[in-house]
Amino acid sequence: MTTAIAIEDVRREVQILRALTGHKNLAQFYDAYEDDENVYVVMEGGKYSEDDAKTVMVQILSVVAYCHLQGVVHRDLKPENFLFITEEENSPLKAIDFGLSDYVKPDERLNDIVGSAYYVAPEVLHRQYGTEADMWSIGVIAYILLCGSRPFWARTESGIFRAVLKADPIFDDAPWTSLSPEAIDFVKRLLNKDYRKRLTAAQALSHPWLANHHGVKIPLDMIVYKLVKAYICSSSLRKSALGAVIRNSTDAVKDSRVLDYVSMVGSIQYRKLDFEEFCAAAISVHQLEGMDCWEQHARLAYEF
């Protein structure tokens, strides 16, 4: 019965496409054919490349990083809430619909469940979330842009929520096998169910998948301010452990934009940090745990 209904749905779609063909803003329908096993719908061609997805992601992350720096969490990020300014192929994007947005402090957690089911973060369903929830939504958007399907799907809203909480996105099937490892890593680090290990908007713009893309301007990141404050108040043992980690991490981790963040901690009075201390303070251990090389760095730090 389901198969018969599905076939009828396809035939109705073909009939509608044939009736509507000709409008400049509709994908051109050419013809449809069927054999004993398949239905073939021939339509206007065109490919959405990985570079196209990069261009969109840079713009989305730029505006979201700006919002987060102002203490605003959007809470309803999805493709429908980003509009092109013109019909030109390279038109810039603009974010819209701040009806569900709210102010949130760095250490504050919100508790109302809002947003669109396919894009809602796990911690939103647990009623304990902050700006990290927006980054999950961006991860869902990136997944869709790169492969054309949703990472979490079900027929009902409750089913979608269960998938968001329990299921893992699929990266083994096409077209993921033909995409760059950097693109896959980028999406995985946004769709991490542990919000503490998720990239911030500024960190996402610094990710190797996007860092060299034209037009990337990496903003300051409030997470560094929060981490440095926590470091200053932490125990000597924790400071020593973080120092050992930073001494055994790569130069890229040690030197990446650290000087840009120095001005952010000007309001933290009566405490001087040398360069190595600041690097240690700016580390998010939770985010390091989300990296493949975490165990190696931790082992080296322990041996040190």
Residues 23 and 102 in one domain: no
Between 162-171, 189-198, 246-255, the lowest mean confidence (pLDDT) is in 246-255
Task: Quote the number of domains for the chain.
Answer: 3
Residues 239 and 121 in one domain: no
Q: Which residues pair with 95 in a beta bridge?
A: 82
What integer best gives the mean pLDDT of the chain? 81
Residues 98 and 168 in one domain: yes
| Residue 36 structural domain | 2-43
3-state SS track over 112-132: CCCCCHHHCCHHHHCCCECCH
Residues 56 and 144 in one domain: yes
Residues whose CB is less than 8 angstroms from the CB of residue 66 and which lie 6 or more positions away in sequence, other chains included: 219
Give yes or no for a contact between 57 and 145, defined as CB atoms under 8 angstroms apart: yes
State the amino acid at position 18 in one-letter form: R
Residues 72 and 193 in one domain: yes
Classify residue 175: in a domain, yes or no: yes
pLDDT tens sequence across 46-85: 778 999 999 999 999 999 998 998 889 999 999 999 999 9
What would the two tokens of residue 68 be? 């987060």
| Alpha carbons 223 and 204: distance in angstroms, whole number | 13
Give yes or no for a contact between 183 and 209, defined as CB atoms under 8 angstroms apart: yes
Q: Rounded to 5 degrees, what angle do the CA atoms 164, 136, 215 make?
A: 150
Residues 196 and 227 in one domain: no
Whether pLDDT at 135 is above 50: yes
Other C-beta atoms closer than 10 Å to the C-beta of 290 total: 16
- Say if pTM beats, i.e. exceeds, 0.85: no
Residues 199 and 167 in one domain: yes
Residues 57 and 193 in one domain: yes
Q: Which of 141, 174, 206 is the last residue of a domain?
A: 206
Classify residue 217: in a domain, yes or no: no
Place of tokens 């699929």: 170
Give yes or no for a contact between 186 and 142, defined as CB atoms under 8 angstroms apart: yes
Does the bond joining 219 to the residue before it have cis omega, within 30 degrees of 0?
no
Phi/psi zone of residue 23: left (φ > 0), alpha (ψ -120 to 50 degrees), beta?
beta
Could you say which of 9, 36, 51, 76 is catalytic?
A: 76
Place of tokens 């018969």: 4
Classify residue 216: in a domain, yes or no: no
pLDDT tens sequence across 83-119: 999 989 889 999 999 999 999 987 899 999 999 999 9
Classify residue 190: in a domain, yes or no: yes
What would the two tokens of residue 116 be? 């669109």
Q: Which of 154, 182, 206 is the last residue of a domain?
A: 206
pLDDT tens sequence across 75-84: 999 999 999 9
Classify residue 212: in a domain, yes or no: no
pLDDT tens sequence across 16-28: 999 888 888 788 8
pLDDT (0 to 100) of residue 272: 57
The verdict on whether 36 is a catalytic residue reads: no
